[in-house]
Amino acid sequence: KDSYDITLLPGDGIGPEITESTKKVLTALCEKCGFDMNLKVALIGGAAIDAVNDPFPQESLEQCQASDSVLLACIGGYKWDSNPRELRPESGLLKMRKEMGLFANLRPAKVLPQLIDASTLKREVVEGVDVMVVRELTGDVYFGTPKGIETINGERVGYNNMIYSESEIDRIARVAGDVASKRGKKLCSVDKANVLDVSQLWREVVTDVITKDFPDVELSHMYVDNAAMQLIRWPKQFDTIVCGNIFGDILSDEASMLVGSLGMLPSASIGESGPGVFEPCHGSAPDIAGEDKANPLAMILSAAMMLKYDLDRPDEALLLENAVEAVLDQGLRTPDIKQEGDGCKLVGCSEMGEAVAKIV
Amino acid sequence: KDSYDITLLPGDGIGPEITESTKKVLTALCEKCGFDMNLKVALIGGAAIDAVNDPFPQESLEQCQASDSVLLACIGGYKWDSNPRELRPESGLLKMRKEMGLFANLRPAKVLPQLIDASTLKREVVEGVDVMVVRELTGDVYFGTPKGIETINGERVGYNNMIYSESEIDRIARVAGDVASKRGKKLCSVDKANVLDVSQLWREVVTDVITKDFPDVELSHMYVDNAAMQLIRWPKQFDTIVCGNIFGDILSDEASMLVGSLGMLPSASIGESGPGVFEPCHGSAPDIAGEDKANPLAMILSAAMMLKYDLDRPDEALLLENAVEAVLDQGLRTPDIKQEGDGCKLVGCSEMGEAVAKIV
Ligand SMILES: CC(C)[C@H](C(=O)O)[C@@H](O)C(=O)O
Ligand SMILES: CC(C)[C@H](C(=O)O)[C@@H](O)C(=O)O
């Protein structure tokens, strides 16, 4: 295949400008490598709420589903923060994940040598850290029912159901086993099996899947509280981590902070079949939106994940990743990764995008 | 009151030896300050399982309830790890919390200047960090029903209910408001209100309680994933944090790891009335049990929290805390806090206890 339909979801805040830079890079890559990308924009988040009063309209969903892959920038902003929940940008994100069946979220946290000083952790602790968090994304307390707020015995009670079925655990364990077997072959499954029934089932099914079908992967288990400590104590002990939706939400963000430069971190959300969604881990940074100060590299690296996981073009993915490292080696830095006295050159979002485009 | 009945729960692993050292210190303190402590031991954890096949026997519960306060060392060990859940040491802990109504867990994470290099975070990031995590301890997904593992549509499903009532949130918010008003007067409530119904109620009730009844406390809200990042990015932004049981489990452990020296961190678990339980944050370290290598300082500092919160003896609490800082200033270090080239003297558990006892 040498022509792809890609849906771009620029979203909110800095979303449009990092999308613009990423487009330039993808266009350059296509020219160089001799394939085509048909990049079509759709609405999500606050932008969609403002336009059609729905954070992820049916039209966007259908366009995404008809694409080969989806590249999302970021969503959210103060403007919509006091909206009722169903009219908030995040609800669009959750709906997209659920409707597109994106049950596996891959969140790499890799420390780049050029940016090692951006971490608040000591150099010797984070040097060489390369952790992949595989987070389940369509189950758990995020989507479990029954849920709600109701009055019981004269007072209100709020509740959500933390729930996983065997088949949900089985399929995420397979993704994690596969990811781990292509990396360092070490998988740590994180749960709270000393307290939770749902975690007991989780541990049992993960153990089954990995020991039977991924014999070359070394499996360990860790309680979530301990994992939150160990990530800080000695992150290099981890290769691949697998966990449920809420523990993964917390731990993947914690892991990304080890790296220190959120503006560099991509993610992939994939399903059984059909297009995946690729997006940076950072938020929409409304405070700097439109000022050409945003860092487009996480979105560009997300495009690299798209090339690898959805378009089956690992070589082109590598080209992008190398180009990103090369602009860092050239000493270009957006404000978020500029350190005092690093002797580097401060650039804006568009200049950074152009620099990457020139290299690929 | 100048005589107190204290229940000691030595538990497992290094528990008995740190309890021994703490006893020496308390005895010295009583002599110096002219009051009495009647220290009576009871069973919990693996020790209780081995003795009477119950991780927290009724007898222990009754003795604790009849005491003025309870000092717990630590529980658990490989030996009981494959027991069925109700026969595991942790179940004793959960039962104790529930039966004694210990709904508020106070977990200070304070960086001591003498041990600042023990942190994996950079000195400038952790210097002066002094965070108190107030964790709800008898509700949430830990105790919520319905729960279990059952077969639905031909496959097993595991589930636990993440649930809070208004009155449960109200009372922990009051404890947190009180704690914050005696500290830096800044309270950050952590939840996942952008996704969870239970968190929406949490946020509403906490806001109500604090704005109405703690007008001098500045309240903010943060999502749990962001809190996990911010604790690493810039921990000094926090004074007091309040959260539910499972988020608190994760964040309090994460916060304690900032300090780097788990062997120094105490905790308090308190209820509406009746005795509280005071215990170090570290585990039972079965690998070094009985070798006189354990650090008794976290348990000694837990005794200080007991003096402050349960026995209403803040001056004596301060004496203990100062004595602990003094032995550190003298350069005494147990193996867990000894750093290569720090020029300090390596001591065992009993010598450390004696040194503190001599100073108080
Ligand atoms: C915005 C929010 C609903 C979302 C989540 O919790 O999944 C975000 O934190 C993420 O990790 O993508
Ligand atoms: C042992 C376990 C049940 C317990 C908890 O999760 O509460 C522990 O992690 C703690 O924080 O005291």
Beta carbons within 8 Å of A226's beta carbon, 6+ residues apart? B253
Residue whose token pair is 């279990």: B148
Nearest by CB: A149 against B149, B197, B225: B197
Measured between alpha carbons, how far is B331 from B83 in angstroms, rounded to an integer? 42
Whether A246 has its CB under 8 Å from any CB of chain B: the answer is: yes
CA distances from B98 to B74, B140, B268, B273, B276 (A): 18, 12, 15, 14, 12
CA distances from B355 to A41, B21, B324 (A): 70, 10, 9
Tokens (6 digits) for B171: 């009372």
Beta carbons within 8 Å of B153's beta carbon, 6+ residues apart? none
Sign of the alpha-carbon torsion through B225, A82, A139, B173: positive
Q: Which atom of ligand 2 sits closest to the CA of residue A226? A: 9
Whether B229 has its CB under 8 Å from any CB of chain A: the answer is: yes
Taking the CA of residue A309 and the nearest CA in chain B, the distance in Å comes to 26
Q: Which of B4, B142, B164, B309 is catalytic?
A: B142
Ligand nearest to the CA of B76: 2
Nearest by CB: A155 against B160, B165, B232: B165
B253 is a catalytic site residue = yes
Measured between alpha carbons, how far is A239 from A183 in angstroms, rounded to an integer? 7
Mean pLDDT of B106-129: 95
The order of strands in the sheet holding B3-11 is: B36-41, B3-11, B69-74, B277-280, B266-270, B104-110, B130-136, B240-243, B186-191, B218-223
Q: Which atom of ligand 2 sits closest to the CA of residue B253? A: 11
pLDDT digits (tens, 9 = 90+) for A311-330: 999 999 999 999 999 999 99
Task: Determine whether the interchain pair A224/B196 forms a contact, defined as Cβ–Cβ distance below 8 Å.
Answer: no
pLDDT band at B96 (very low <50, low <70, confident <90, very high): very high
Task: Determine whether the interchain pair A149/B200 forms a contact, defined as Cβ–Cβ distance below 8 Å.
Answer: yes
Ligand nearest to the CA of B88: 2
Cβ of residue A316 lying under 6 Å from some atom of ligand 1: no
**Residue A51 DSSP label:** H
Whether B194 has its CB under 8 Å from any CB of chain A: the answer is: yes
Q: Which atom of ligand 2 sits closest to the CA of residue A195? A: 3
Nearest by CB: A232 against B120, B156, B199: B120
What pLDDT is stored for residue B261 in this prediction?
Answer: 84
- With a cut of 90, say whether residue B95 has pLDDT above it: yes
Ligand nearest to the CA of A75: 1
Q: Which atom of ligand 1 sits closest to the CA of residue A267? A: 12
CA of B310 to the centre of ligand 1 (A): 40
Query: Which chain A residues are within 8 Å of B198, Cβ to Cβ?
Result: 158-160
Nearest by CB: A162 against B120, B162, B254: B162
Measured between alpha carbons, how far is A202 from A222 in angstroms, rounded to an integer? 12
Taking the CA of residue A88 and the nearest CA in chain B, the distance in Å comes to 9
What pLDDT is stored for residue A281 in this prediction?
Answer: 95
What pLDDT is stored for residue A235 in this prediction?
Answer: 98
* Mean pLDDT over the full length of chain B: 97
In this structure, the residues whose C-beta lies within 6 A of any atom of ligand 2 are A 194-195, 225; B 90, 93-94, 249
Quote the distance between the C-alpha of residue A65 and its chain's center.
Answer: 19
Ranges under pLDDT 50 in chain A: none
Q: Which of B12, B54, B191, B249 is catalytic?
A: B249
Tokens (6 digits) for B117: 């290099």
CA of A225 to the centre of ligand 2 (A): 8
Query: Which chain A residues are within 8 Å of B125, Cβ to Cβ?
Result: 120
- With a cut of 90, say whether residue B185 has pLDDT above it: yes
Closest CA to B15 of B36, B56, B45, B38: B45
What pLDDT is stored for residue A81 in this prediction?
Answer: 87
pLDDT digits (tens, 9 = 90+) for B199-249: 999 999 999 999 999 999 999 999 999 999 999 999 999 999 999 999 999
What pLDDT is stored for residue A284 in this prediction?
Answer: 96
Beta bridge partners of A110: A130
Taking the CA of residue B207 and the nearest CA in chain A, the distance in Å comes to 15
What's phi and psi for A111, nearest 5 deg?
-85, 120
The DSSP code sequence of A103-132 is -EEEEEEE--GGGGGGSSB-HHHHTT-EEE
Cβ of residue B195 lying under 6 Å from some atom of ligand 1: yes
